[in-house]
Chain A
Amino acid sequence: MKEDSARPPKIPEWLLTKFSYWIERHSLIDDLEEEYHINLSKRGHTYSRLWYWSQIFRAIPTIVSYSLYRNAIMIKNYALIALRNIRKRKVFSFINITGLAISLSLCLFVVKLTFTMYSSDRFHEKKDRIYRVISQTTGENDVIELATAPLPLVYELEQIPEIETVVRIKKNFGGAAAAMKKVLMVQGFYADRDFFHVFSYELEAGDPRSALAEPYSLVVTKELAQKFFGSGNSVGEILSIQDVGDFKITGVMKDTSKLQSHMRFECLASLSTLNSLEKQKKIPASLENWKNLNDNYVYFLLRENASPNRIEELFPAIVKKHYPDTKTEYIYSLQVLTKISPGKNLGNWLSKPAVSPQLPLLLSSIALLIMIIACFNYTNLSLAKALSRAKEVGVRKAMGANRFKLITQFIGEAVTYALIAFVLALIFLKLVIPIFVSQMPLYTEIESQSLGVTLFFILFAVFTGILAGIIPALYISKFNPAEVLRDITKAKVFSRINLRRVLVVFQFFISFVFIITTIVLYKQIRFEKTIDTGFNAENILNVELQNTNYETLKQEMSTHPAVSRVSASAFILCTGTRWGTRAKNPDASEFLEVDFISIDHDFIENFELELVAGQNFPEMPYLENERFVILNEMAVERFGFASPLDAVGQIITFKENKNLEIIGVVKDFLSQSTSSPVYPLILRVVPEYFEYASLKIRTDDMESTLLFLETKWKELEPFRPFRYSFFEDQLEDYYKEVENVLRGVSFITFLAILIAFFGLLGMVIYDTEARVKEIGIRKVMGASVIDIILVTSKSFVFLLLLAAALATPVAWLINNLLLRDFSNRIELGFGIFAFGLLMMFALGFITIFSQTIRAAFANPVDSLRYE
C-alpha cells in the first residue's frame, strides 16, 4: 500500500503522453510527480491522488488543442514548400501533374470497373455453397456449352444427401402486365419456393418461405411494385400477364438495383405455376423433359463442408439412366456462384453474358502502359533537370545528409506530385472520362465508390509516385559532393543520357502502336459501312411481330398508300443473327450445316435480291405443305451442283425428313453481318418462324404514316407496344459496339499521344535551354537559322524515327490479329503506316520546332553577354 502510494497513478500519466507530442512531456510529468510528493507528505494519500487526476484532466484539453494547432502549422509549411517548388518549376510541374493525373484517372477507372465486375453475386451470404449445374452437349460435329440444365434433374439432386436445397429457375416469364388500369411490359423468372432461402434477396413484405409456394404467386421488386401501385401496399393485389394468367402478389423485394448479379429480374413467379401452364399447352414442356435445355436453370445449396466433386461424380450415372439412346452426348458439371461472372462464356445465359476474365486484364495492361508513359515523363524530366539539383545535393551531403535521406527526399517529392495529380485525377474521373465511355454497356453498371476502392486509389497514387521517382532519386543522390561543388561541368551528369533516350523511344513506340490501331479500326468501320451487302435496305421499316398474325397485319398495313410492299422474315439481315439447319443433296450421305432464313414471297422483291436462276416462291396463300426452297450461289456450290441453272429443279433433303425442290437461286448477299462472310444459305417459307414484317414505305409525310401504322397496330394488339425501326437505323446501331471499341481506343490513343508529346515538349525545352550558349556561339560563327534548327532538332527527330521503326512490326502484328475477326476486312497496307507516321511526325515537328525555332531566332548577344 505504501509502495503503491509512493508513485503517482499510472493511467493519467499514460493518457497524457498520448497527446503531448509537441511539448516537453517528460519534464511535465516529472514536475507533476514532484508536486505529488510534496502533497503526499503534507495532505496524505487520497488528496494527492485526486489532485494528480484533476491536474491531468485540466491539462489535456489545452494540450490537445495546442497539438492540433501545431500540426496544422506543420502541414501548412510542407504544402507551402511543395507549392513553391511547383510554381518555381512551371514547365516541369505542368507536364508531370497533367500527365500523371490523366493516366491516374484512367487507371482509377479501370480499377473501379474491375471492382464492379468482381462484386457480381458477392452479396449472397451462402455464395460459396451455391452451385449451378451447367451442361455440355456434343453433337455430330459441334460441342455446345450451356448455362442451362434440364428441370427433371431436380428429382435426382434431391436424393443426394450432401445437397441441402435445390432451386429451379426458368427464364422468359413476363409480357404485357396489367393492373390498376396500367399496362407495362415486365420480365422475370419462374423460381422454386426455396429461392429466398438460397439467394440473399430480402423481402420487404411477404413471407420468404412461402411466397413462391402456391401456383400463380408472384414476388415483385420494389421498383415494379411502385410502378403499378405507387407507394401503397401491393401484397394481395392481382397482376394479369397476357397469355400467361392472373398472378397474386405474395411478396415485395427490397431495392435490388444496387445489387450486382448475373440474374436480373423484375418479378419472380412460382415455378409450381408451370404445371398448369404446361397442361394448358401455353408453354412447351420442360418440367419432365430431359432434353429441354433452352431456358431452364438448376441451382442448389451444398451442405456445409460437403465436396462438390462428389456430386459431379454422380452425373455420368444420371445421364446414363435418363438418356438411354441418344446420339447427342450430355455432360453435366458444376459452377460455383462466384465463378459465374467473370467466368466462362456459356450459351443460354440467364440475364446477360458472363464478363470474360480477360477483360479486366486487358484493360489494366492498357491503363498501366499509359501510366508508365506518364511515369517516364517524370523520370525523364527529372533526369534532364538533375544538373540543377546537383549543387543542392552537394551542399546537403557536405552538411551530413546520407544517401538514404536524399533518396527519401526525392521519392517524397515525386509522391507529392503524384498525390496532387491524384486529386486532379478524381476530378477527371468524375467529369471527363464519362464523356468518352458512358456509351459502353459496362459503364452503366459501375457502382459508387466504396472505402476499399478509395484506399486502393490512394495506395496506387503513392505507388505511382515511387515508380516515377525511384530512378532520378537513385541517380541524383549518387552525385559526389566534392566533385559537384568544385566544378559542376566535370560531374558525370550526362552518363544517363542513353536511359533518357530509351524512355522516349519507348513512349513513342507505344503511341505509334495506338495510332495505327485507331486508324485501322476507323478505316475498318468506314469500309464496312460502305460495303455492298447485296440487298437494298432503303426505305424499309421493320416491325416486330410479337406473335401477331402476319397475314392480318400485312393486309391492314398495306391499306396505306405509302406502303408499297410488305414482306416477312425470321430475322433482320446484317444485325448479327444467324440461323442454321442441316440439309443434303439426296445422293450425299452426310448432312451439311447451312444457314437458313424463313421469308415470304415478297421478301426477295422488297430487298431487291437478284435471282440468277429459276424464279421466286409462288404467290400467297401459303401452301400448307412447304414445297420449295431458294438457295444462294454459295449453297449451290456447297451442295455440289455444277451451276445455279443445274440446281433449279433439284431436290434438297432436310434433317427433319423433308424433301423440298429448288425453285430458284439468288445472288450471294450478306446475311449475318458486314464483318462476317457470305455463308451457304437456304431461303424457305416457314410462317411459324416469322418475327418481323418489313414495310417498304415511300412518303414525304413519314409522321402521319407512322401514326396510321400505330393505330392499325393498336387495333390488332391493344396490349402490346408498337415496336418498329428503320432498317437503315438498325444497321447503324449494329456498328455501335465496334464504334464503342473505336471510341475507347481513340480516347486512349489520344491520352497516350498527349502525355508522350508533353514529355517531348519538356525535353526539348530543357535541351534548348541547356544549349542556349552553344546556339549563340554557332550563330556568331555564321550558322543560319536553318542550320540551328537542324542541329537542335536532329536528335529528337531521330528518336521519333527509331520509335516508329521499332513499332511498325508490332503494330502490324497486333492489327493483323485484330482484323482476323472481320471476314470483310481492309488491307493492312503501307498507306496506313505512312499516314500514322505522318500524324506522329506532324505533331512531333510542331512540338520540337516550337522550341528550336525560338532558340534559333534568339539574339546571340543575350546569351553570350556575360562570357
Chain B
Amino acid sequence: MSNLTKNEEIILLSILRLEDNAYGVSIKNQIKKLTDEEWNYGLLYCALDQLARKGLLIKREGMPVPKRGGRRKIYYSISRSGRRALEEAYELKEALWDGIGVHSLKKGEAS
C-alpha cells in the first residue's frame, strides 16, 4: 500500500466526517472548514478520480434531483482499503512524532 499524499488524506478525512452526505459541494466546503483553503473543482475532481481508481473510494449514485436536470448526484464513501490507508497514515504519523511532541520544535528554535 502506497502512502497517501497530504491532499488525499485531507479528502478522505473530509469524506469520513461527512458520512452519508459526501458529494462535490459538501466535500469542498468541508475542506474549506478544516484547512481554510479554497480548493478549485478541478483539483477536487481529479483527486476524487485518482482515489476511486486506487480503490480507496466508492462512488454511489443518489436519488435523481430535479434541480440537476434529473441527473443523480454522485456520493462518495470510503472503501475498506481506504479506511486501512487512513489507519496506516495515522500510525505512520504517530510513529514519526513518537516521543517528540511539538514542544521539542520550540526548544530547537530557542537554541
A residues with CB within 8 A of B: 20, 22-28, 30-35, 55, 58-63, 66
Contacts and interface: CB of A to CB of B under 8 A. Distances in A.
Nearest to A37: B67
A31 B25 contact: yes
B49 A24 contact: yes
Contacts of B41: 28, 31-32, 55, 59
Interface in B55-101: 59, 67-68, 71, 73-74
Interface in B9-50: 23-25, 28, 40-43, 45-46, 48-50
Given A22-B49, A24-B48, A24-B49, A30 B42 contact: no
24 contacts: A22-B46, A23-B46, A23-B48, A24-B45, A25-B45, A26-B71, A27-B23, A28-B45, A30-B68, A31-B23, A31-B25, A32-B41, A34-B25, A34-B68, A35-B25, A58-B40, A59-B41, A59-B45, A61-B42, A62-B43, A63-B46, A66-B42, A66-B49, A66-B50
Contacts of A26: 71
How big is chain B's contact interface, by range?
A: 10 to 19
B74 A24 contact: yes
B20 to A, nearest CB: 17
A59 B43 CA distance: 7
Nearest to B42: A59
B43 A23 contact: no
A106 B59 CA distance: 53
Contacts of A33: 68
Contacts of A58: 40, 42
B71 to A, nearest CB: 6
Contacts of B73: 27, 30
B49 A30 contact: no
A55 B25 contact: no
Nearest to B59: A24
Given A23-B48, A28-B24, A55-B40, 18 more contacts: A22-B49, A24-B48, A25-B45, A28-B45, A30-B71, A31-B23, A34-B25, A58-B42, A59-B40, A59-B41, A59-B42, A59-B45, A62-B40, A62-B42, A66-B42, A66-B46, A66-B49, A66-B50
Secondary structure class of chain B's binding surface, majority of residues: helix
A495 B108 CA distance: 83
Contacts of B40: 55, 58-59, 62
Contacts of A32: 41
Contacts of B28: 31
A35 B41 CA distance: 11
Nearest to B65: A30
B41 to A, nearest CB: 5
A182 B80 CA distance: 89
Contacts of A28: 24, 41, 45
A55 B28 CA distance: 12
A20 B49 CA distance: 11
Contacts of B50: 66
Given A27-B24, A30-B24, A34-B25, A63 B42 contact: yes
A60 B46 CA distance: 11
Nearest to A67: B46
A28 B71 CA distance: 12
Contacts of B24: 27-28, 30-31
Interface centre among A30, A33, A59 (most CB of B within 10 A): A30
A20 B41 CA distance: 11
A28 B40 CA distance: 11
A22 B45 CA distance: 10
A30 B45 CA distance: 12
A34 B66 CA distance: 12
B13 to A, nearest CB: 20
Report, nearest first, the 3 A-B pairs whose CB atoms are least far apart: A59-B42, A31-B24, A62-B42
A389 to B, nearest CB: 30
A813 B16 CA distance: 85
Contacts of B49: 22-24, 66
Contacts of B23: 27, 31
Contacts of B48: 23-24
A552 B43 CA distance: 95
A66 B61 CA distance: 24
A646 B59 CA distance: 114
A275 B59 CA distance: 93
A27 B46 CA distance: 12
Residue among B40, B41, B50, B67 with most chain A CB within 10 A: B41
Contacts of A35: 25
A169 B84 CA distance: 89
A63 B25 contact: no
B47 to A, nearest CB: 9
A407 to B, nearest CB: 30
Contacts of A66: 42, 46, 49-50
Given A28-B24, A31-B25, A62 B71 contact: no
A87 B18 CA distance: 49
A58 B28 CA distance: 14
Contacts of B71: 26, 30
Contacts of A59: 40-43, 45
Given A62-B43, A63-B45, A27 B74 contact: yes
A341 B69 CA distance: 65
Contacts of A34: 25, 67-68
Q: Which of A25, A31, A32 has the most CB of B within 10 A?
A: A31
A25 B74 CA distance: 11
A66 B45 CA distance: 10
A23 B57 CA distance: 14
A193 B48 CA distance: 74
Nearest to A31: B24
Contact of B46 (A30, A31, A62): A62
A55 B25 CA distance: 13
A34 B23 CA distance: 12
Contacts of A55: 40-41
Given A55-B40, A58-B40, A23 B45 contact: yes
A812 B7 CA distance: 78
Nearest to B45: A23
A524 B48 CA distance: 76
A673 B5 CA distance: 84
Contacts of B59: 24
A66 B43 CA distance: 9
A33 B67 CA distance: 9
